[in-house]
Structure 1
Amino acid sequence: MRSTGGGPSGGPVALVSGDEELAAGFLAAAAAAGVEVQQVHRAEELRPVWVSAPQVYLGLDVAELVQAAGLRGRPGVGLLARRGSPALSRWSAALDACVIELPDVDGVLMSRLAASAGSSGGELVVLVGAAGGVGVSTSALAVGRALAEQEFRVVVVDLDPLGGGLDLTAGAEQLPGWRWPELAAASGQVGDLGGHLPQVEGLDLLAMPRREGAVPGPAAVASVLASARRWYDVCLVDGASGEGAEAAEALAAASRCWLLVRAELQGLAAGARRCDRLRAAGHRVELVVVAAPAAGVGRQAVEQAVGAPVVAVVPEDRRLRGGVARGERALASGSRRWRRAVRRLAAEVLA
């Protein structure tokens, strides 16, 4: 499997700070998580690790220096500071970095380090919709099913807090097992979730609550996705629109980011805007094109309009949409043509 998604994977994380107290706290956490660290002491050493390290941690003491270096935005940046430090929010926004206050009583740092420790495991694909109704949830479930049929161990993770629950879309709402409320407080190392989650047609599901119930924060998302990479062959994430801190954690951990775009004028315009936002955050984007039978828009035209490569074209299926609206399982509602396209898309995960 190749890694062409969010950011670099593998290798030591980078620590850039001259603050001995911050550095000592960070190094202790990294040692506990079993994560190797490369410390950067000089400005000329910064640029190479900024590109290559899976995660970069900056002390608040070097924030101004890093901004002045004019480095391109990238995912997986953490800003380390003591609790209550002034100007923390300003530098976090300027560097597009996750704030980590030490001591790490909230478990944010340990969760992110756990994600780094698990980054060399299974494939993690985040699916994002250029606009609502493009089929992110059904695509994630269908690709997961196609992979499960090949005896891969697969989990589909729901990060759409307003989607009504992925288990409902899968027809698994009555099945026993954990949903996000049971894992919303997770931090640090999380064990194998297999056997704890609802399973439908060979794949495990981690769904958002439909109404009441705690939703996960960034630390929980980082921990759970690290577990998913460690214990599953493939983790597919329903990233909804790709907005919010939780989706940002998933994208930072992803090996691939697929943007679903409808092949019509408004859909391509929405895709271009969403692609620009994802790229500005440092993510490498690949397109999954949802095409109506008479769309008449070729792959090359889509790539030029949106600005990213197309990995697959999936036909828009009215039968599928109608079946889901009637409460039928998305996995069983699609046409043969749609299912063939999904199998080709599943093969892309393994390419």
Structure 2
Amino acid sequence: MPPRPAAPPSRPLVVSADEDLLDDVLRVLAAAGTEPEVATGGPALRRAHREAGLVLLGADVLGAPAVRALPRRPGVVVVAGGVLAAPAWAAAVELGAERVAVLPDDEAWLAARAADAVRRPVERGWLAVVGGPCGGAGVSTLATALALSAADGGDGVLLVDADPWGGGLDLLLGAEDAEGLRWPALSGVRGRVAGEALLAALPEVHGVTVLAAARDDPSPVPAEALTAVVAAARDCGRSVVVDLARPAGPGDPTAAAVLAEADLAVLLVPARLRAASAARLLLAGDPGEASPWRAARLVVREVPDGLTAAEVATVTGAPAVAALAHDRGALSRGERGEPPVVTPRSPLGSVARRLLGELARPERAA
């Protein structure tokens, strides 16, 4: 069966009887590259209100019975030619408007919002979260290798550093001098964020966009900011790897927030008894509560004279999907600011490709 053609993007709906306001709105939408549907009542209004990707209500129709009878829905913006009076503000809130756009001051915002609403849908990027049960497990190196391997495959990737006291993930990419934002410059973001603008503000090296911690201003990464950044990147088609290097208990809100959305969670466990025991605690969670790590895939990092992968599986109660062989040169390369080697035969490259294969399994989409 041939693939079904993509549905055309829906047209915005404009509801207004104010000719001057209508002219201004149509001009802004034309600049955004979209032609709207205009309706003020009847079946056409109800149909368009249901189907439109964006609904623009003129301030002049906020009290109209046909408008007040419409069901609440997302994607409603009230457009006005001046500051709204208190009763009009109350009506806008009652209708569930996400914003009141006052022209001409908000023309740029309205054009961007309209363009975003009619953009053809893109396939949402996947999310992989890498963590460890103890310090020094090599989580940051594996997260970086996973991002580099995905970038080698032609996918755009955002690598996010969720460990503000780790010294900065950009060091592993040799990007410490690259221009762009770091945490905590984005610690205040919340809710819906423009993904393209966010990605453009971050450093990029070796095909990987990176949001790293700032070495001169370490501070906790708020769970709300982390999830907003991750969602913004994924919504515009960018896949994301989050480094949760510093170990935290099952109740850690930042880890829980990002793990809840993960397509793949990876727990890197050094082949030592204490590390395996700590991993078991992470997987088990608090009594009476499911651990956010419960679905994690285990990768065992081999160490000289350490446990075998089978022994780690016995201690943790979970099988390992891969074993990361000891790489003598990894430490020295990191000290020289050289990115991890991710060739198919390298230890990190082999494991990264195994994890990318986990992301590509059909049951992930089920």
Alignment TM-score, normalising by the size of structure 1: 0.60
Instruction: Give 2:233's aligned residue.
Output: 228
- Per the alignment, do residues 186 and 302 of structure 1 end up closer, same or farther by CA in structure 2, a change over 3 Å counting? same
Q: Give the partner amino acid of 1:276.
A: A
Instruction: Give 2:349's aligned residue.
Output: 339
Query: Partners of 2:338 and 2:359 in 1: how far apart?
Result: 23
Between Structure 1 and Structure 2, how many residues are aligned? 236
Instruction: Give 2:284's aligned residue.
Output: 276
Among residues 289, 297, 317, which one is paired with 2:308 in the alignment? 297
Instruction: Give 2:3's aligned residue.
Output: none
Instruction: Give 1:160's aligned residue.
Output: 163
- Per the alignment, do residues 33 and 275 of structure 1 end up closer, same or farther by CA in structure 2, a change over 3 Å counting? farther
Shift of 1:317: 1.8
Query: Partners of 2:168 and 2:154 in 1: how far apart?
Result: 25
- Per the alignment, do residues 136 and 337 of structure 1 end up closer, same or farther by CA in structure 2, a change over 3 Å counting? closer
User: Is the contact made by 1:164 and 1:211 (CA closer than 8 Å) also made in structure 2?
Assistant: no
Query: Partners of 1:341 and 1:226 in 2: how far apart?
Result: 26
Shift of 1:221: 1.4
Q: Give the partner amino acid of 2:318.
A: A
Query: Partners of 2:312 and 2:233 in 1: how far apart?
Result: 32
1:218 equivalenced with 2:223 (yes/no): yes
User: Is the contact made by 2:141 and 2:172 (CA closer than 8 Å) also made in structure 1?
Assistant: yes
Query: Partners of 1:295 and 1:167 in 2: how far apart?
Result: 30
- Per the alignment, do residues 166 and 185 of structure 1 end up closer, same or farther by CA in structure 2, a change over 3 Å counting? same
Percent identical pairs in the alignment equals 33
SS in 2 for 1:121: coil
- Per the alignment, do residues 32 and 181 of structure 1 end up closer, same or farther by CA in structure 2, a change over 3 Å counting? farther
Shift of 1:165: 0.9
User: Deviations for 1:261-284, whole angstroms, at most 9, x for unmatched residues?
Assistant: 012222212221222238733442
SS in 2 for 1:317: coil
User: Deviations for 1:134-188, whole angstroms, at most 9, x for unmatched residues?
Assistant: 1111101101101100101111111012101111222111001121222111111
Among residues 243, 249, 254, which one is paired with 2:262 in the alignment? 254
Query: Partners of 1:342 and 1:250 in 2: how far apart?
Result: 20
Query: Partners of 1:337 and 1:223 in 2: how far apart?
Result: 33
1:130 equivalenced with 2:133 (yes/no): yes
Instruction: Give 1:9's aligned residue.
Output: none
Query: Partners of 2:265 and 2:248 in 1: how far apart?
Result: 10
User: Is the contact made by 2:171 and 2:337 (CA closer than 8 Å) also made in structure 1?
Assistant: no
User: Is the contact made by 1:197 and 1:206 (CA closer than 8 Å) also made in structure 2?
Assistant: yes
SS in 1 for 2:200: coil
SS in 2 for 1:225: helix
1:329 equivalenced with 2:338 (yes/no): yes
Query: Partners of 1:249 and 1:33 in 2: how far apart?
Result: 25
1:1-351 correspondence to structure 2 within 5 Å: 31-32=73-74, 121-192=124-195, 193-212=198-217, 215-240=220-245, 241-243=247-249, 244-277=252-285, 280-282=290-292, 283-292=294-303, 295=306, 297-299=308-310, 301-324=311-334, 326-332=335-341, 336-351=346-361
- Per the alignment, do residues 230 and 291 of structure 1 end up closer, same or farther by CA in structure 2, a change over 3 Å counting? same
Greater relative contact order (Cα 8 A, min sep 6): structure 1 or 2?
Answer: 1
Please, which runs of 5 or more residues in structure 1 have no aligned partner?
1-29, 35-117
Q: Give the partner amino acid of 1:327.
A: R
